[in-house]
Structure 1
Amino acid sequence: MSGQTGFHRVNQAVVIGIGLIGGSLAWGLREWGGVTVCGYDASPETVSRAQSLGVIDYGADSLEAAVHDADAIFLAAPVGVAPAILRELSRLPLKEDCIISDVGSTKGDILRTAASYPSLSTRFIGGHPMAGSHQSGVEAARPHLFENAYYVLAPLPGTPLDRVRRLSDLLERSTRARLVIMDPDHHDRVVGAISHLPHVLAAALVNQVYGYNQTNEWYHRLAAGGFRDLTRVAASDPVMWRDILLSNREPLLDLLDDWTDGMERIRQAILAGRGEAIEAFFRQAKQAREGLPERKKGMIQPSWECFVDLPDRPGGIGEVATRLGEERISIANIGVMESREERPGALRLVFTDQDHWARAKECLKRHGYSVFDPDTDPAG
């Protein structure tokens, strides 16, 4: 890093794109960061809704009006749109000490774009809060979404150190996340492996089974349990994932080559009937899976879940919900398992708060229910 000037506190921030991530960031900036937040979005209705919910202090009807007095600007627009917004910002008069950051899940592409504009190259710092939700839109925003999650910052080589410190200070106060400085190329490969590649594989598996189902409907009829869990992310927004994959093209191509090599090795083991090689394949995966860090917010696991063994009788689900409601435990989602193929329970409960998840398990066990944790119970 080069250059160090006076340390100026951020008092005025702008969030461009007020969905789940942008709205949660804006809300945290207001509530915990003590910052006045202006919101700008392609949808005026979204801006109005964000203001009525208390997510932002006020809205702007143009990008120029939004950023005029900004000490910090956050791009929370889709990955495919962010470069065009940077181009517009490069033409606008910004405050001398104004910092610009983003929240996209790829960093190399956006940083190369920022570096190409002299007016932005020393003020843009890539950012990626690694948390999310199964919900979307500003209505799903909450100020604690990023709490205890990793928040990656990827500055350009010539970024003044004081600007990195100012942004870090602001985000630590406003998000209560765990900030990490990371090389953008390293970030894109890591995130490509733990998020982007799994989305591709899930979509490919769903498409493959869909093709089989065209001539035999039993593929979809029996697609429950493990198949649904494994492919849940295939239901994500197609446009968003198109833009992410194109933005992270080179790392993802390398990862797909590695995946293809791995699949060919297990294919050859099956073809040759090498039982020891097949067992070793699954044993290594089992050990690696068990060695993953405990549940935390991040790209793969932004929620907590458990399974409840529930008799098939009228009112059973209502009783579970009532028990939890009496102790003010919030459930994000309830799913009735269509098959006990790989799970010991018949009811799947999802929580967005780890404390509520732990209290729910304790409550239900206290009332005589059998509760299973998918990460610690062998059957899960």
Structure 2
Amino acid sequence: MEGRVFVIGLGLIGGSLALCIKEEHKEVIVCGYDINEEQAKLAKMMGVIDESVRSLEAGARDADLIIISTPVTVTEQILEQLAELPLKDNVIVTDTGSTKTTITDKARSLIEKGTCFIGGHPMAGSHKSGVTAAKKILFENAFYLFTPRQETNPKEIETLKAWLVGTKAKFLIVSPEEHDYLTGVISHFPHLIAASLVHQAAAAEDHSALVSRLAAGGFRDITRIASSSPAMWRDILLHNRTVILELLLGWENEMQKVITLLESSDASEIYRYFDEAKNYRDGLPSKEKGAIPAFYDLFVDVPDYPGSISEITGHLAKDEINITNIRILETREDVYGVLVISFQSEEDRARAEVCIQVNTNFETSMG
């Protein structure tokens, strides 16, 4: 394909999409805009984009594809601004937001002008942010949801897929309403529950100062998503408020079932409750990316002697295996500690496990 692509918002998602498009369509010119001019300069210096522009109008007027990769509240404002600008007749405008119904409604003025808008949501992410974290493989094997309006020309959807084929993502088409329900169930609501668990643990410190120390292990892992951007999740929950409220009522009913089981001391029903949950969870796809970024952690039993950690990281560095995070669990009191190493992908974690097993005597596990 030939033409110009304009990426608005040069963070992790916008930067990664730019890299995918540049890799697949080498003749295309990718220009970018970010409200943070330093971020835009960095994107240009790193080769994430070909050109940096200082205004929406400068980038949008000649674009064949416009990608809005900003927080959802900012996306609404940008859609209003684009509706007032002279755009090419065949331009396609898309976004990357986590909610779609309100965004699609906000795009109505753009659509009435004759411009094609197709909502988009690449369901992939990272524990890092900013253009420096952008990478071409971010969306590989991830679901990429499109939420076109019913009257959208199917050819325009196929054109958008062709622009984004370099993501190597799995494209799915759903309505904006179905999208918001699906992401509410498997992304938005779990983030809310994680934040609630953290609040409960913080309140429990009034009864025991040991709470935070013991929470350094598994509790910290299962609530990791609570560390996401508060501003982002404020906006997402407000935009998907109706779905979240519906799910909260369902959660209230679910917890009432548990309360009833405990009050009745029904051992067999309690067992069945956990068994059914285990069976459903174990049946979920393990090799596919979902709405919440996967955590590729490797647990290593390391003896308590100087240099044991540097020994491991040294071997990983020699094999050019990138580490995204490293920490020590403090829940054990014997001569061994647990080193938790996080990686960018399942492939990196598998390579790391082999590397450690071949070069050391340390025991490893996936968790």
Please list, as runs of the form range in 1=range in 2, the aligned pairs for 1:244-263 lying within 5 A after superposition: 244-263=236-255
Q: Which residue does 1:59 correspond to in 2?
A: 52
Which letter does structure 2 place at the counterpart of 1:203? A
Aligned counterpart in structure 2 of residue 278 of structure 1, from 263, 270, 276: 270
What is the CA distance between 1:116 and its match in structure 2?
4.4
Q: Which residue does 2:221 correspond to in 1?
A: 229
Q: Does 1:86 align with 2:79?
A: yes
What is the CA distance between 1:10 and its match in structure 2?
4.9
Q: Structure 2 CA distance, aligned partners of 1:301 and 1:67? A: 31
Q: Which residue does 1:202 correspond to in 2?
A: 194
What is the CA distance between 1:31 and its match in structure 2?
2.2
What is the CA distance between 1:102 and its match in structure 2?
0.4
Which letter does structure 2 place at the counterpart of 1:275? A
CA 1:268–1:41: 2 relative to 1, 3 Å: same
1:38 counterpart SS class = strand
Aligned counterpart in structure 2 of residue 289 of structure 1, from 248, 270, 281: 281
Q: Structure 1 CA distance, aligned partners of 2:12 and 2:121? A: 14
Deviations 1:330-376 (A, max 9, x none): 222112112159xx9701111113222111111222233211122xx
Q: Structure 1 CA distance, aligned partners of 2:210 and 2:101? A: 44
Deviations 1:282-320 (A, max 9, x none): 111111121110133332243422211111211111111
Q: Is contact 1:345–1:371 with CA below 8 Å preserved after alignment?
A: no
What is the CA distance between 1:51 and its match in structure 2?
0.5
Which letter does structure 1 place at the counterpart of 2:100? K
Which letter does structure 2 place at the counterpart of 1:41? D
What is the CA distance between 1:255 and its match in structure 2?
1.1
TM-score by length of 1: 0.91
Please list, as runs of the form range in 1=range in 2, the aligned pairs for 1:1-380 lying within 5 A after superposition: 9-34=1-26, 35-119=28-112, 123-172=116-165, 174-214=166-206, 216-340=208-332, 346-367=338-359, 368-374=361-367
1:329 counterpart SS class = coil
Quick check: 184-193 or 289-298, which moved more? 289-298
Aligned-residue Cα RMSD (Å) equals 1.7
Q: Structure 1 CA distance, aligned partners of 2:285 and 2:2? A: 34
Q: Once the two structures are aligned, what percentage of the paired residues are identical?
A: 44
What is the CA distance between 1:148 and its match in structure 2?
1.6
Q: Is contact 2:329–2:338 with CA below 8 Å preserved after alignment?
A: yes
CA 1:10–1:264: 2 relative to 1, 3 Å: farther
Which letter does structure 2 place at the counterpart of 1:293? P
1:371 counterpart SS class = strand
What is the CA distance between 1:231 and its match in structure 2?
1.0
What are the ranges of 5 or more consecutive residues in structure 2 without an aligned counterpart?
none
Q: Is contact 1:127–1:151 with CA below 8 Å preserved after alignment?
A: yes
Q: Is contact 1:121–1:156 with CA below 8 Å preserved after alignment?
A: no
Q: Structure 1 CA distance, aligned partners of 2:281 and 2:97? A: 27
Q: Structure 2 CA distance, aligned partners of 1:59 and 1:326? A: 37
Q: Is contact 2:80–2:109 with CA below 8 Å preserved after alignment?
A: no
2:126 counterpart SS class = coil
Quick check: 295-304 or 57-66, which moved more? 295-304
1:264 counterpart SS class = helix
Q: Which residue does 1:378 correspond to in 2?
A: none
What are the ranges of 5 or more consecutive residues in structure 1 without an aligned counterpart?
1-8, 375-380
Which letter does structure 2 place at the counterpart of 1:197? F
What is the CA distance between 1:156 and its match in structure 2?
0.8
TM-score by length of 2: 0.94
Q: Structure 2 CA distance, aligned partners of 1:94 and 1:226? A: 51
What is the CA distance between 1:121 and its match in structure 2?
6.5
Q: Structure 1 CA distance, aligned partners of 2:86 and 2:254? A: 51
Q: How many residues align?
A: 363
What is the CA distance between 1:222 and its match in structure 2?
2.1
Q: Structure 2 CA distance, aligned partners of 1:329 and 1:300? A: 23
Q: Structure 2 CA distance, aligned partners of 1:153 and 1:360? A: 35
